[in-house]
Structure formats: structure tokens, C-alpha cells
């Protein structure tokens, strides 16, 4: 599920419409995780608190030139994939839009391209509409770009104007008959279309692990690899019994394959009936370390505490790992900043994604490591749909291989899908 941050400045009626839509199941592909107000006294903050939504303030009056930087700093707490401007009375710069790494959606109280652009906001829009003598107005939801009200239109709805309308009366009618209806619909449309598994802002996640459960209660896993160099791209996944190995389609004589050839998936058989098997899934040779430690009666954590991140300066790629049993799963990431472990019970229809790299390459061309808790993702019952969608999201430029496995209820039989960009 995508994370949504809402920027507000006033009463928050459009925020309330989004909250209601979320509670009523209209907004189902995204979740409001944060509300940021440009005014400390905005009633929208109270609306958010009532529903347990995290609130922050970036006071426009006191921050001045640091206003946008403060908002970007606050957004870092949740790293939303979608930002909604709901009665947010400030124009955002091109720099902000690019740095946010999110789709930004705005609601405007007119039928764009009429009565829009710089200077048209709040009651000023409705005053201009009534002064012009037009018979129809309405509202528009659009994506935000560097041109005020100039982004791609997502939805519009017309509203009638009556002879005795005042700006205040017209404003209320436009909200009730247009804004509160089309804003949640448009936000859901955007959330459902943009990356459902890999966050929209991440162009090169590197290697990734997904572990979780389908809506019908079957344990699911996925592992993918991406590559930028010719050597990294010259790899394929191959089944080896009920495990997975990586092979090279070609090999450069001067290339050390130690970091790209390993067993991503191994099964630790805890008993003859295999009901207590443990599935080990990693992005490196720590697969074997974990397996050996389990054989000695030690733990997943014991094994990984003996390992570190990869020695591929300057990136220092993290080592990501997971272990799955019938009762739940654990994930881990070993990076320069420390060693982190996460433990989860299964939730039907939900999983966790952890990957090596976060966001885009930095200015000095270093790949930044994944940060925070593994991302919550949806897992469907349809392995074909899930695996094909994930493969498409990885993109043609860098995707190398993908393996997906859905277990049956016995945690022994399974169905799987394997994708390789290259072949032997």
C-alpha cells in the first residue's frame, strides 16, 4: 500500500473527504500516513489527530526561505510515494517537486484552464468566476509541475452557478458537488496505477526480497536481481531441485564473480516431513552461512552477526536476507550504518519488501543503501499477475532475473515463476 502525505493550510475539508474515502474503501491503494500544515492553527491538524494520523507543522510565516526545505525534512519521516495538496495555499518550486521523489496531486476549484494559475486560489477563484458571468464552474484534480495549475489533468467535474450565488455559497457547492467527490477518486486512480510493489521514487532498487502471504493464506516469496554492468547483466536464475542458483551466460576473464554468483534460495530441512522446513533467501553467499549455522543449532541472527556488507567500494552494497517458516518470517539488512533485524507474523494479502538501494544515484554516483523498515506490499492470490507485475515494474533497462514462489497450504508443494532477461 502506498504512503500518502497531505499538505494543508486551513480547515481540511478535502482532507476529511480523503479520510472518509479511506474509511469507506474508496481510497484503498494508498494510506494517509502524515498531514503537514503550513499554519500551526489549521483545523486540518485536529481532523488528522482524531483519526490517529501523524501531524507536523512547517510554519510558512516563520520559516521564510526555509519553508520548502522544512517540508522536505518532514516528508523524510515517511518517504511517501504520493503527496496531496488539499487546500494548501502555497506554490511549490520545481526544486521541491524534483526532490520530493513523489507524485504530487492538487485540487483546484475551477475547470482548468479557466480561472487558474498564479493568484487564483480560495475565494478569489469564485469571485472571478461570478464576476465573469459564466454559467458553469467546477473543480479539477491535476498533477503538480513547475507551472501553477499546469500539470496533467486527472479529473474534472462541473457545477452549476445560480443567479443569487455569493463567492462563499459557490465555494461550498463546488466543494460538496465536485471537490470531495473527484479528489479521492483521482488519488485512488494514481495510487493504483503507479508502482504497486516497487516505490515510484526508486528507479534502481538493485536486489530485492519479498516475503509474505497471499489473501488465501499461502506463504509467498520473491527474489529479484538487477544490473548495470555487462557482467551483472550476464546472469540467469536456474532451478536446482527445490532451490535456486545463479549462472553466468558469459564471463569476462578479468572479472571476479564472487559477489554475483551465489545460491539465493536454499531449504533447511528441519525434519523428514518437511513441515518445519526453513526457507533461506539472500542476495549473497550469506545464504550458506545461515544454512551452516542452522545445522549447528544456531540462529539466523547468529549467522548474520558474523557477516558484513559487501566490499564493493564506494557503494558498499548491503547484504539483505530473509528466513521463512510456517509461523512467520524475518528479514535483515547488513550495511555500513549497522546490522538490522526485523521479525513479522504473517498477515493475509500482505508482505514485506527489502532491497539493496534506495532512491536514485547521488551526485557523486554512489548508490544509497536501503533505509528504514522493510516496505509493506500487497500480495495477490494470482501468481501470474503478481510475478508479471513485479517483472514489469523492474523495467527493461536494468532487470536481470526474477523468481516467485507461492506455497500450498502444506508448506511443501508450491507453484513458481521464473523470469530471465538472458538465456544460456
Q: Looking at the predicted structure, is the pLDDT value of residue 362 above 60?
A: no
Name the CATH superfamily housing domain 2-193: Formyl transferase, N-terminal domain (3.40.50.170)
DSSP helix/strand/coil, 390: helix
Q: Which residue numbers are catalytic? A: 108
User: By C-alpha distance, which of 203, 212, 219 is closest to 375?
Assistant: 212
User: How far apart (Å, rounded) are the C-alpha atoms in residues 111 and 155?
Assistant: 10
- CATH topology of 2-193 equal to that of 208-420? no
At residue 277, the pLDDT reads: 86
User: For all residues of the chain together, what is the average pLDDT?
Assistant: 92
pLDDT in tens, 400-409: 999 999 999 9
At residue 378, the pLDDT reads: 85
Question: Domain boundaries in the chain?
Answer: 2-193, 208-420
When mean pLDDT is compared across 284-288, 362-366, 413-417, the lowest value belongs to 362-366
User: How far apart (Å, rounded) are the C-alpha atoms in residues 298 and 292?
Assistant: 9
At residue 256, the pLDDT reads: 62
Supply the CATH classification number for the domain 208-420. Answer: 3.60.20.20
Measure the N-to-C terminal CA separation of the chain; round to a whole number of Å.
37
pLDDT in tens, 214-260: 999 999 999 999 998 888 899 999 999 999 999 988 776 665 666 67
Burial track 344-356 (b if 16+ CB lie within 10 A, e otherwise) = bebeebbbbbbbb
pLDDT in tens, 9-49: 999 999 999 999 999 999 988 899 999 999 999 999 999 99
Amino acid at each position: 500500500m502506498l504512503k500518502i502525505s497531505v499538505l494543508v493550510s486551513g480547515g481540511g475539508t478535502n482532507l476529511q473527504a480523503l479520510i472518509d474515502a479511506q474509511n469507506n474503501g474508496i481510497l484503498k491503494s494508498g494510506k494517509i500516513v502524515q498531514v503537514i500544515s503550513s499554519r500551526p492553527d489549521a483545523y486540518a491538524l485536529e481532523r488528522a489527530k482524531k483519526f490517529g494520523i501523524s501531524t507536523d507543522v512547517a510554519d510558512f510565516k516563520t520559516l521564510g526561505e526555509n519553508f520548502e526545505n522544512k517540508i522536505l525534512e518532514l516528508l523524510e519521516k515517511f518517504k511517501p510515494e504520493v503527496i496531496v495538496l488539499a487546500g494548501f495555499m502555497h506554490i511549490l518550486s520545481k526544486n521541491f517537486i524534483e526532490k520530493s521523489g513523489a507524485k504530487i496531486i492538487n485540487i483546484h476549484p475551477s475547470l482548468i484552464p479557466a480561472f487558474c494559475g498564479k493568484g487564483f486560489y480560495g475565494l478569489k477563484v469564485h469571485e472571478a468566476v461570478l464576476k465573469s458571468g459564466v454559467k458553469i464552474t467546477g473543480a479539477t484534480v491535476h498533477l503538480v509541475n513547475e507551472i501553477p495549475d499546469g500539470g496533467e489533468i486527472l479529473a474534472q467535474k462541473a457545477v452549476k452557478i445560480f443567479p443569487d450565488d455569493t463567492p462563499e455559497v459557490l465555494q461550498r457547492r463546488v466543494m460538496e458537488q465536485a471537490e470531495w467527490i473527484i479528489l479521492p477518486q483521482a488519488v485512488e486512480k494514481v495510487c493504483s496505477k503507479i508502482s504497486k510493489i516497487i516505490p515510484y521514487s526508486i528507479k534502481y532498487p538493485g536486489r530485492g526480497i519479498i516475503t509474505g502471504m497471499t489473501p488465501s493464506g499461502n506463504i509467498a516469496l520473491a527474489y529479484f536481481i538487477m544490473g548495470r554492468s555487462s557482467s551483472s547483466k550476464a546472469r540467469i536464475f536456474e532451478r536446482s531441485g527445490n532451490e535456486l542458483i545463479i549462472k553466468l551466460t558469459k564471463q569476462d576473464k578479468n572479472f571476479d564473480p564472487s559477489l554475483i554468483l551465489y545460491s539465493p534460495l536454499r531449504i533447511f530441512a528441519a525434519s523428514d516431513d518437511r513441515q518445519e522446513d526453513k526457507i533461506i533467501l539472500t542476495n549473497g553467499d550469506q545464504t550458506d552461512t545461515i544454512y551452516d549455522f542452522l545445522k549447528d543449532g544456531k540462529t539466523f541472527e547468529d549467522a548474520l552477526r558474523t557477516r558484513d556488507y559487501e566490499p564493493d567500494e564506494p557503494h558498499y552494497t548491503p547484504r539483505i536476507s530473509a528466513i521463512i517458516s510456517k509461523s512467520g518470517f524475518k528479514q535483515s539488512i547488513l550495511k555500513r550504518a549497522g546490522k538490522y533485524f526485523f521479525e513479522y507474523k504473517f498477515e493475509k494479502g500482505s508482505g514485506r519488501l527489502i532491497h539493496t538501494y534506495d532512491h536514485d544515484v547521488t551526485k557523486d554516483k554512489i548508490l544509497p543503501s536501503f533505509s528504514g523498515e522493510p516496505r509493506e506490499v500487497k500480495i495477490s492470490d494470482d501468481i501470474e499477475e503478481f510475478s508479471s507485475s513485479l517483472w514489469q515494474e523492474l523495467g527493461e533497462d536494468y532487470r536481470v532475473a526474477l523468481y516467485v514462489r507461492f506455497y500450498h497450504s502444506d508448506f511443501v508443494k508450491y507453484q513458481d515463476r521464473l523470469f530471465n532477461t538472458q538465456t544460456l
